[in-house]
Structure formats: C-alpha cells, structure tokens
C-alpha cells in the first residue's frame, strides 16, 4: 500500500497514487508529478519509487 | 504654534517612525488553496521562528487517536491499519470543539463475492458528526482481495473483511505529527531581493485539515496568550 503521507514533509500523497500509476503508462512520470502538484523532491521520490506489493502477497495471505 | 501642539506633533512623528521602522508589516505574495506565502518585514528572525514553531507544534487539529478493531482479515496488521487511519487529515472546525471532544468514525468493508478486489478509501469513513470528515476523499486505506482457492474439485472464495470504529480527538503537533496542521512551514531571508530588504519570506502549507489563514491566525493568538500569561504571572506575584 502506498504511504498515506510523504515521510519527510507530511503532505498527503496517497490520494493521487492511482491516477499517477495510470498516467505513467503513456506519460513521463516527472511531468505527471508536476501536473498533480507534487512539487518537492521528498514527496516525488515516494511516488516514483513505490512498489505495490500487496497483490504479490495476496496468494499467501 | 503653541509649545503644546509642537510636542504633540513631535510625538506623532515618533509614532510614525515607529510604525515605519519597528512595527511589523505583512504582505501576501501568493495564496493557493492550501498554501500561503507572505513577506514579513520589521521583525527579527526569532519572531518568525516563534510563529513557525507555534504553527507546527501548538495549533490543535483533529486526528484519529484510537481504533477499536472488530474484524480485520485484510493483509495489513491491525497496527498498520490504525497508523494509516491516524494519518488521514480530518476537517477541523476549531471554533466549534473543545479540547476533550471525541468523534467516532466507523468503517466497514468486504472484498467482492467473486475473485477480485475492493479498494477501501477515506471517504468510506462514516462519522458521528457530519462536519468531521476526511479532508481527502481518495486516500486508499486498504485493498481487500478475494482469492479463489481450488482444493481437489472444490472451488472456494476466500474473502477479506474489515470492521472497525475509530476515535478522533483534538491534539497538538508537539505530541504527535498526526496532529500537525502544516506540512512545509518555513521562512527564508529575502536579502538578495532589492524589493524586500531585511524581510522574511514565510511559506505555510496546510495538510488540509484547517484553512492556512486559520493556522497562522491561531498560532499568533497562541503566542499572544503565552506572552499574556507571563505578564499575568509577573503582576500577580
């Protein structure tokens, strides 16, 4: 699951995660983040580097 | 001109000097939905820092503080679920609540009947007070997944469920960051810029629970109250 907020500054970033994930399929991630108002690098790295593992764990739950 | 009126005039001039040189001036540079930038002039850095620290640590807001979990068969542990809930900013009407008010938020969700998933969002929290709600609707709380299991010829679906009651309380940033109404909250010297010499550019970004103007106002009010209590202590003894 995507972290609810940025670890560093505390801005809520999880509400744009699903849109971000869809849009990066045909857009450049940096530009998508600009469009979503994720401006600081502390917040950007959370979305950029997140690996959604919950589906991979699901069969073993 | 009499001597008296000359004195008054002199005083007025001094007063004007004080206003121009010593008193604080606030000029809003930029204002967004959840952010405000203003130039503070006529104050020392220590004043801006006191204001910054008051905004971070002293301005109260609502956050989930306790969670009673009736059922949780999701992939997240109870404490992970509780942490995610606590970090959701809740809209706070500071004037309407007192320090020990509590609000209940219920959440109930099940994964689908067939193989698939349900994403549970912050908007699904059902509040005891309609004014207390998540500031962001689409914060994913947990993904509930139904998996198909085949044992011999029998196919069965394992579903996941959560059922809980969350309790929100007012708190301050000095106790826990979940009660901090600001995210980025800083000031910087504007010395290089000719327009605002010896001034500070203050940036305040809210987390959505309180309007930014209210955060700044409340922080200033708290600072004044603290100063007043010092005076009161000194004069009463």
Domain boundaries, chain A: 14-60
Supply the DSSP string of B9-67, one letter for each residue: HHHHHHHHHIIIIIS-EEEEEEE-SSEEEEEEESS-HHHHHHHHHHHHHTS-EEEEEEE
Residue B100: count of CB within 10 angstroms of its CB: 7
Nearest CA to B167 among B68, B47, B41, B20? B68
Return the residue of B nearest to A52 by Cα.
Answer: B143
Residue A42: count of CB within 10 angstroms of its CB: 17
Predicted confidence at residue B98, as pLDDT, reads 87
CA distance B205 to B215: 10
CA distance B119 to A2: 12
Q: To the nearest whole angstrom, how far is the Cα of A50 from the nearest Cα of chain B?
A: 14
The lowest-confidence range among B10-24, B147-161, B186-200 is B10-24
**Domains, chain B, ranges and CATH?**
23-59+181-236 (3.30.1360.10), 61-172 (2.170.120.12)
A53 backbone dihedrals φ, ψ, rounded to 5°: -100, -10
- Cβ–Cβ below 8 Å for B137 and A58: no
Q: Among partner residues A10, A11, A15, which is closest to B139 by beta-carbon distance?
A: A15
> Which of left, alpha, beta for B26 (phi over 0: left; psi -120 to 50: alpha)?
beta
Predicted confidence at residue B236, as pLDDT, reads 86
The ipTM assigned to this model is 0.93
Return the residue of B nearest to A8 by Cα.
Answer: B183
- Cβ–Cβ below 8 Å for A12 and B145: no
B147 backbone dihedrals φ, ψ, rounded to 5°: -115, 145
Q: Which residues from A are below 8 Å from B142, CB to CB?
A: 1
pLDDT mean over B114-139? 95
Return the residue of A nearest to B158 by Cα.
Answer: A61
Distances (CA, A) of B54 to A29, B46, B200: 36, 12, 17
Segment (H or E) for B6: helix B3-17
Q: Among partner residues B139, B145, B180, which is closest to A10 by beta-carbon distance?
A: B180
The pTM assigned to this predicted structure is 0.86
Predicted confidence at residue B223, as pLDDT, reads 95
Work out the angle between the directed axes of helices A41-49 and A29-36 (0-180°, nearest 10). 130
- Cβ–Cβ below 8 Å for B160 and A18: no
Predicted confidence at residue A57, as pLDDT, reads 86
Predicted confidence at residue A59, as pLDDT, reads 81
Return the residue of B nearest to A55 by Cα.
Answer: B145
Residue B91: count of CB within 10 angstroms of its CB: 16
Chain A residues with CB-CB distance to B under 8 A?
1-2, 4-6, 9-12, 14-15, 17-18, 40, 54-55, 57-59, 61
B3 backbone dihedrals φ, ψ, rounded to 5°: -65, -35
**Average pLDDT of the residues of chain B:** 89
Q: Which residues from A are below 8 Å from B75, CB to CB?
A: 54, 57-58, 61
Largest Cα–Cα separation, chain B: 112
Nearest CA to B134 among B87, B96, B101? B87
Tokens of B49: 């820092």
Q: Using an 8 Å Cβ cutoff, are B104 and B128 in contact?
A: yes
Q: To the nearest whole angstrom, how far is the Cα of A51 from the nearest Cα of chain B?
A: 15
- Cβ–Cβ below 8 Å for B143 and A10: no
| Tens of pLDDT, residues B43-84 | 888 899 999 999 999 999 999 999 999 999 999 999 999 999
Return the residue of B nearest to A19 by Cα.
Answer: B138
Q: Among partner residues B75, B88, B208, which is closest to A57 by beta-carbon distance?
A: B75
């Amino acid at each position: 699951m995507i972290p609810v907020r940025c670890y560093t500054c505390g801005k809520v970033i999880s509400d744009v995660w699903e849109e971000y994930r869809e849009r990066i399929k045909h857009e450049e991630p940096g530009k998508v983040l600009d469009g979503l108002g994720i401006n600081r690098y502390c917040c950007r790295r959370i979305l950029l580097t997140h690996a959604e593992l919950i589906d991979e764990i699901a069969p073993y739950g | 001109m009499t001597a008296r009126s000359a004195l008054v005039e002199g005083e007025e001039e001094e007063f004007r000097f004080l206003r121009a040189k010593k008193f604080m001036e606030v000029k809003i540079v930029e204002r967004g939905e959840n952010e405000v930038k203003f130039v503070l002039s006529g104050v020392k850095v220590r004043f801006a820092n006191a204001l910054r620290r008051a905004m971070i640590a002293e301005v109260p807001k609502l956050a989930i503080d306790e969670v009673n979990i009736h059922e949780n068969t999701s992939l997240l542990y109870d404490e992970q679920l509780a942490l995610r809930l606590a970090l959701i900013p809740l809209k706070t009407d500071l004037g309407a609540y007192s320090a020990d008010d509590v609000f209940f938020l219920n959440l109930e969700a099940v994964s689908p009947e067939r193989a698939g998933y349900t994403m549970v969002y912050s908007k699904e929290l059902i509040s005891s007070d309609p004014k207390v709600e998540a500031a962001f609707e689409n914060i994913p709380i947990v993904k509930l997944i139904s998996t198909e299991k085949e044992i011999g010829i029998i196919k069965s679906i394992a579903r996941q469920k959560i059922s809980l009651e969350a309790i929100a309380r007012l708190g301050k940033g000095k106790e826990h960051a979940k009660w901090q109404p600001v995210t980025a909250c800083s000031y910087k010297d504007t010395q290089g810029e000719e327009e605002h010499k010896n001034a500070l550019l203050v940036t305040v970004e809210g987390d959505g629970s309180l309007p930014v103007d209210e955060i700044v106002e409340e922080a200033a009010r708290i600072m004044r109250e603290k100063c007043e209590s010092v005076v009161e202590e000194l004069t009463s003894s």
